[in-house]
Amino acid sequence: MKTVREALQWGAARLQHASTTPRLDAEVLLADVLGVSRAGLIARLHDTLARDAFKAFQGRIARRERGEPVAYIVGRKAFYGRDFLVDARVLIPRPETELLVERALARLADVPAPRIADIGTGSGCIAVTLAAERPDAHLIATDVSEGALAVARANAERHGVADRVDFRRGSLLEPLDAPVHLIVANLPYVGTDEMEILAPDVATYEPHVALFAGPDGLALIRDLLAQVSPAVLLPGGALLLEIGYAQGEAVARLVRERWPHAQVVLHRDLAGLDRVVEISDLWLTAEA
Ligand SMILES: C[S@@+](CC[C@H](N)C(=O)[O-])C[C@H]1O[C@@H](n2cnc3c(N)ncnc32)[C@H](O)[C@@H]1O
């Protein structure tokens, strides 16, 4: 029989070569088995672990050792202070996407009852967070994947916002039937050319429909921009798009080719990399 401390040491050692954060992973996996928080786990370091619990822990460690992300093993991931259900049907929410949420909240601070579209909602982390942070907002959340929409709906229920998030299946802006104040999108932006430089865990376990967008990664952003018109975006409305760190200039060029006077602002993430592009003032020109 092992104590919690010994089990953690065993688990971290097993993950030494499979993870860059072996101790943290072992803690999260064991806390999940015991149904406690990580802090709760640390408070029990000297407790003896029941045989069944250790067996369950061994199973989770084996999955992690094979490369499966921790979030899929425990079925949850924290995003903007809330817990989101995740499984293999959706991309695991990333911390850098919180920047997009922050910019959306800042942009809409003075807009009462905003209508927001979240394109490629995946787990629903962006749409559900915006609905929870702005109780007067109405969201339309779209995805091409029915599986992703099922997960996103469950997250909307979980966070009590299902009555204000309208989930629609369809590609890009096609499901929008009325103009909104803000379009947010974290669409796939990895180039198929870059497949081999992705972390192996990502390419093996996360849905490819959530990752890749043509050879340069810009295929979906290009198509989305081509669909923007007054039929989907209100005057004074804006777009916030998450992008790859090297795509800022290319996206700015795409925008200016169509709307020469548009405002394009690149926002950097905590690592100092271009991560979100904010596009506004599109309709100052005649070609809207
Ligand atoms: C990078 S994931 C982002 C998921 C979630 N918004 C997030 O930030 O974690 C992209 C999502 O876009 C969806 N998607 C891919 N192609 C799409 C398209 N043409 N129209 C709408 N959604 C699409 C994928 O199914 C996936 O759920």
- Tell me what the pLDDT averaged over the chain comes to: 95
Distance from Cα 187 to the centre of ligand 1, integer Å = 5
Distance from Cα 247 to the centre of ligand 1, integer Å = 18
User: Between 199 and 270, where is the model more confident?
Assistant: 270
Residues touching ligand 1 (Cβ under 6 Å) are 90-91, 93, 97, 119-123, 125-126, 142-145, 148, 171-172, 186-188, 209-210, 220
What is the rounded average pLDDT of the residues 31-41? 95
What is the rounded average pLDDT of the residues 63-68? 96
What is the rounded average pLDDT of the residues 56-63? 98
Q: Does 279 score more than 50 pLDDT? A: yes
Is there a binding annotation on residue 120?
yes
Encode pLDDT of 140-190 as tens digits. 999 999 999 999 999 999 999 999 999 999 999 999 999 999 999 999 998
What is the rounded average pLDDT of the residues 110-137? 98
What is the rounded average pLDDT of the residues 32-46? 95
Rounded Cα gap, residues 258 and 158, in angstroms: 40
Q: Whose CA is nearest to atom 4 of ligand 1?
A: 122
- For 4-67, CATH gives 1.10.8
Is there a binding annotation on residue 214?
no
pLDDT of residue 196: 78
Q: 165-169 and 180-185: which strand pairing?
A: unpaired
Q: Whose CA is nearest to atom 9 of ligand 1?
A: 93
Q: Whose CA is nearest to atom 2 of ligand 1?
A: 210
Query: From the centroid of its chain, how far is CA 212?
Result: 14
pLDDT of residue 201: 83
Distance from Cα 22 to the centre of ligand 1, integer Å = 29
Please identify, by atom number, the ligand 1 atom nearest to the C-alpha of residue 185: 6
Computed on alpha carbons and rounded to an integer, the radius of gyration of the chain in Å comes to 21
Encode pLDDT of 218-274 as tens digits. 999 999 999 999 999 999 999 999 999 999 999 999 999 999 999 999 999 999 999
- Between 3.40.50.150, 3.40.50.10320, 3.30.365.10, 2.40.50.100, what CATH number should domain 90-284 receive? 3.40.50.150
Please identify, by atom number, the ligand 1 atom nearest to the C-alpha of residue 92: 9
Q: Does 76 score more than 70 pLDDT? A: yes
Instruction: Using pLDDT thresholds of 50, 70 and 90, give the confidence band for residue 34.
Output: very high
Distance from Cα 32 to the centre of ligand 1, integer Å = 28
Is there a binding annotation on residue 97?
no
Rounded Cα gap, residues 131 and 116, in angstroms: 9
Distance from Cα 256 to the centre of ligand 1, integer Å = 24
Q: Does 126 score more than 50 pLDDT? A: yes
Q: Whose CA is nearest to atom 19 of ligand 1?
A: 171
pLDDT of residue 284: 59
Residue extents of the structural domains in the chain: 4-67, 90-284
Q: Does 288 score more than 60 pLDDT? A: no
Distance from Cα 177 to the centre of ligand 1, integer Å = 19
What is the rounded average pLDDT of the residues 103-120? 98
